[in-house]
Structure 1
Amino acid sequence: MKNKTVIITGASTGIGKEIAKYFITRESNVVMNSSNEENLKKAYIEFGSPSNVLYLAGDISKQETGQKLVTLALKKFKSVDILINNAGVFAPKPFLDVEEKDLDLYWSVNLKGTYFTSQSVIPQMIKQQHGSIINIGTVLVEHAIDGFPATAPLTSKGAIHSLTRQLAAEFGKNNIKVNTIAPGIIRSPLQGKIGIEDADSLARLHLLNRIGEATEIAEAAYYLATANFVTGETINIAGGHTIGHSI
């Protein structure tokens, strides 16, 4: 991955930030995106303001943001090799309490963000005749939990899982690989945002009896970025969450 160009959305905190760090330390060129410019700049400075990194704040649910990211990457680094669609929002809410504004939020940020940003990078990947798109889904798409009602975000994530397979089929002939990472419970700021004070209390949802670390998602993203014969797959990084539970 040295000198390969990677665009990462939602890269200012949590999993996205850890993914950015992982690729930066392996000498990839990284374009970081987030809707929060302050957090984005803070992360960039924390990384040491490296010369192989650019950042651009913007709402990925807007088509122009993806186009700006591609323009920036090509101007500085001359290629777009990897896109990691990490940006997203997620929170539990009972089905009967969901309002139209909730659906609009999740479908705009999660699905439209992934859709439009992928739409922005694929023309360049076709020109190059290579590329890799890595989407972030969730194990909850295939493994529902009664005590964690989240139909609104899950329908948008389920759509991302489906989009992955169709894009893999449509652009396989162009040597563009498209895959999804479906995380289990991962230690990140998201847990606090959705009201989980002790993320480790959810360890028993996983057969390994622990929650995951953001670095483990970064490792999976790096594997998929370098894998030349893997496409259309959803890879669960979830400690056995979808297989059974430790009770």
Structure 2
Amino acid sequence: MDFEGKVALITGGGSEKGIGRATALKLSERGATVILADVNGEGAKKVAEGIKKDGGNAIGITIDVTDYKQVNETVKQLKDEHGKIDILVNNAGISRPTRVLDITEDEWDLVFDINMKGLFFVTQAVLKSMKEEKYGRVINLSSVSGKRGGGIFGGSHYSAAKAGVTGFTKAIAREMAEFNITCNTVAPGLVGGTNITGGLLTEEAEKEIIKSIPLKRVGSVDDIAYSIAFLASEEAGYITGEELDINGGSHID
């Protein structure tokens, strides 16, 4: 997978332990210029600095994906600076374990604003540039929760939002195929070491979960990042509208 000369925008890239950082490393070590965008701009800059120390080309910026004006202004600025955006990884997300009877309207809106509306804002803005270039790779982060209905650390609002991401992805894949733009989804199972679980993945809980996973381990950020890198590559150019399950076999149909 050669990304020399490619420009990649990765949202939610401000965590030292996250999928965004791992994906940025995979792309940058193969030649891409990676732009890490996060509401935690200092975190994104810190991650970018670490990648640069390892010889990669990375930039960290601040972005609130739920702010339509900011998203469009930022994407325009990035296009002006870099000439194009070849790859978009919509990784920004938030989870809440709240049970359906306890979900407030504010919490419902928060989960949907970040996981679904923010993803729409960024995708729409970037697609305009990709359409002009007649090339693009869009990879959206969904979740096993969006397939099975809920999950260990995600409530019904999270599940509904991630299911929405999958449907949105398939529709975009149909609309943009004529412009040589692919759009796919990765749906991770439980991934250890990230902030998405909110500290709820205790050692005891992990042992119990592993019992139901055929490969007998939880996923790693590298498992997810490598899969994203493949879908972002030239070699995956005939794959679009698909959902790649990455769960160690825990939900084999």
TM-score in same-fold range (> 0.5): yes
Query: Hey, what does 1:25 align to over in structure 2?
Result: 29
TM-score (norm 1): 0.92
Following the alignment from structure 1 to structure 2, what is the Cα–Cα distance between the partners of residues 70 and 93? 34
Offset, 1:192:
5.1
Offset, 1:149:
6.0
Amino acid at match of 1:6: A
Query: Hey, what does 1:79 align to over in structure 2?
Result: 84
TM-score (norm 2): 0.90
Offset, 1:237:
0.8
The Cα offsets for residues 30-79 of structure 1, whole Å up to 9 and x where unpaired, read as 11101112211221222236673222112111113332342233233211
Offset, 1:106:
0.7
2:221 counterpart of 1:214? yes
2:229 counterpart of 1:229? no
SS in 2 for 1:61: coil
Q: Decide whether aligned partners of structure 1 residues 147 and 73 sit closer, same or farther in structure 2, where only a CA change above 3 A counts.
A: closer
SS in 2 for 1:189: coil
2:125 to 93, 116, 120: 120
Query: Hey, what does 2:198 align to over in structure 1?
Result: 193
Following the alignment from structure 1 to structure 2, what is the Cα–Cα distance between the partners of residues 218 and 144? 24
SS in 2 for 1:171: helix
- 5 Å-filtered alignment, 1:143-154, equals 143-144=148-149, 150-154=155-159
Q: CA RMSD in A?
A: 1.9
Amino acid at match of 1:120: A
Amino acid at match of 1:90: S
The Cα offsets for residues 140-196 of structure 1, whole Å up to 9 and x where unpaired, read as 222236765610111111110100011011111111100000001112332551522
Unaligned runs of 5+ residues in structure 2 are none
| Range that drifts further, 169-178 or 36-45 | 36-45
2:169 to 164, 179, 201: 164
Percentage of matched positions with identical amino acids: 28
Query: Hey, what does 2:143 align to over in structure 1?
Result: 138
Q: Decide whether aligned partners of structure 1 residues 85 and 149 sit closer, same or farther in structure 2, where only a CA change above 3 A counts.
A: closer
Query: Hey, what does 2:184 align to over in structure 1?
Result: 179
Unaligned runs of 5+ residues in structure 1 are none
Query: Hey, what does 1:34 align to over in structure 2?
Result: 38
Following the alignment from structure 1 to structure 2, what is the Cα–Cα distance between the partners of residues 63 and 30? 22
Aligned pair count? 244
Following the alignment from structure 1 to structure 2, what is the Cα–Cα distance between the partners of residues 146 and 89? 14
Amino acid at match of 1:216: D
Query: Hey, what does 2:64 align to over in structure 1?
Result: 59
Query: Hey, what does 2:10 align to over in structure 1?
Result: 8
Following the alignment from structure 1 to structure 2, what is the Cα–Cα distance between the partners of residues 146 and 62? 28
Following the alignment from structure 2 to structure 1, what is the Cα–Cα distance between the partners of residues 118 and 196? 22
